[in-house]
Amino acid sequence: MTAKYGFTIEKEERIDEIKSDATLYKHSTGARLIHLKNEDNNKVFTIGFRTPPPNDKGIPHIVEHCVLSGSRKYKTKEPFMDLSKGSMQTFLNAMTFPDMTIYPVASRNDKDFKNLTDVYLDAVFFPAIYENEKIFMQEAWHREIFNEEDPIKYVGVVYNEMRGAYSTPEALLYLGTQRAQFPDTIYVNDYAGDPYAIPDLTYEEFQNFHKRYYHPSNSYMFLYGDMDIDKYLEHIDKDYLSHFKYQDPKSKIKPQNPFTERRYMEQFYNITEDDSTENKDYFILNYTFGEVGNLEDYYTIALLSEILIDSDAAIIKNAILENELAEDVMVFDFQYAQNKFSIIAKNAKHENKDKFIKLIEDTLKDTVKNGIDKKLLEASINKLEFDLSEGGSFPTKGIIYYQKMMDFWLHDHEPFSPLKYKDTIKLLRDKLHTDYYEKYIEKNFINNNFQSFLNLRPKKNFSLKRDK
């Protein structure tokens, strides 16, 4: 197809589920861009990058903070804060995930939206971090001392944030499940930053990460709503992409090889000397199965989260609570380069960890043998379909759509698929009166060795021991 402003159309189609015309573009630099054209005046722009963390120093998180602290065009100290106070934005944020970093903005005002888009593009491609080392020192870490007799302190926005995060078990759960289930991949590294590793990060290492990953060839851009797309393509090319040439960022994430047996891992979190360790354990059983990029797996996993854990009638949650093995039960069903389904028991007694595993195994076997209640299945399908049709009732729906597409797009799968849910929901509904769901559980939970168990345990003054 003919290129326009360096962009070539790779795919066009109507997505009835979200009342949008979808176009996938590829720029000569390798930059990818999706436009969802519709009548929504709450326009969205997002740019994302695949940002695999190479270690525990929190480089993806620190770069996210730093690029929003001034750029080539926008010289103020904190453009992000200026925008949050002075623009008509309906959404303004930046988010770091285990394998990507995204910068979403939204506005109903055309002029404001164009300005927001420009500020974010300038921030990610031409930040002030190369001329001003103080940005790195402020956001990452630096040493601080006011009196000779005082000990040297480490401070920094991200460093301080992660000191706080590492004092709570919840923050360690996410990383712990990744380390248990994906031990030979980049997911073992803390993208947000281990406060004991952050001070090892050098200014040069930080800059090199930005140069490598914050490049058009590694970017995933998104425009949503009622707009003149040609004007935006021209602006993005002329002011930004035309300053770069294609380069291979070598950012593709390699998958974890499956296990031949369940892995076991133990990890600790901090409590004070006065706190009790009784009934403070977390038990997490992780499974990996299915195929990323497969819609049937994608929505079956969402259904099983509801059926097994999330709903009032959830099979596994109720079994755990009725047997008093924990105070609460949660599920993580996040999409990485591979699927991960984590069953989490909160505030459990340490000696009950084997009972927890056996109860889940027995409950799943009983479920396969006796079948899932059809009313529970149907209610879960109805809820899933309603949630999908409402865009999660989020006012800036474009951001929800971008994140759904990134589940597939980031890992080189067709990005429009997660938005086209009607045929898959119909397929799952048609399987309501078959043994599809029981067979799925049998194959992917009961007869699946690609699983791990994490025991997150309280330890008195654990942070103080690490400080020493």
Same domain for 314 and 377, yes or no, is: yes
Question: What's the CATH code of the domain at 88?
Answer: 3.30.830.10
Q: What confidence tier does 458 reach under pLDDT thresholds 50, 70, 90? A: very high
DSSP letters of 270-327?
EE-TTS--TT-EEEEEEE--S-TT-HHHHHHHHHHHIIIIISTT-HHHHHHHHTTS-S
Residue 311 lies in a domain: yes
Q: Do 317 and 390 fall into the same domain?
A: yes
Is the model's pLDDT at 163 over the cut of 70?
yes
| pLDDT for residue 231 is more than 90 | yes
Average pLDDT over residues 322-338: 93
Domain count, the chain: 2
pLDDT score of 395: 80
pLDDT in tens, 252-274: 999 999 999 999 999 999 888 88
Q: What is the Cα gyration radius of the chain?
A: 24
Integer Cα distance of 282 and 168 in angstroms? 12
- Secondary structure of residue 50 in the 3-state scheme: strand
Q: How confident is the model at residue 391 (pLDDT cuts 50, 70, 90)?
A: low
Q: Are residues 210 and 89 in the same domain?
A: yes
Average confidence (pLDDT) over 169-183: 94
Kindly report, residue by residue over 295-316, the tens digit of the pLDDT: 999 999 999 999 999 999 999 9
Predicted confidence at residue 119, as pLDDT, reads 94
pLDDT band at 288 (very low <50, low <70, confident <90, very high): very high
Sign of the Cα torsion 53, 196, 161, 345 reads: positive
Whether residue 131 sits in one domain with residue 93: yes
pLDDT at 261: 97
pTM of the shown model: 0.94
Residue 411 located in a structural domain: yes
The owner of tokens 């299915």 is 290
- Domain with 445, as residue range(s), is 263-467
Residues of the chain with pLDDT > 70, as a percent, come to 98
| Domain shared by 192 and 66, yes or no | yes
More confident call, 149 vs 392: 149
- Same domain for 221 and 353, yes or no, is no
Q: Residue 441 — very low, low, confident or very high, per pLDDT cuts 50/70/90?
A: very high
Active site residues: 64, 139
Strands (E) in 38-182, as ranges, are 43-50, 89-92, 95-96, 100-107, 142-144, 153-155
Q: How much is the pLDDT for 85?
A: 75
- The secondary structure element, H or E, covering residue 163 is helix 157-165
Compute the mean pLDDT over every residue in the chain, rounded to the nearest whole number.
Answer: 94
pLDDT band at 33 (very low <50, low <70, confident <90, very high): very high
- Amino acid making up residue 389: S
246-269 exposure pattern, b = at least 16 Cβ within 10 A, e = fewer:
eeebebebeebeeeeebbebebbb
Q: Does 153 reside within a domain?
A: no
Residues 366 and 328 reside in one and the same domain? yes
pLDDT at 1 over 60: no
pLDDT over 70 at 464, yes or no: no
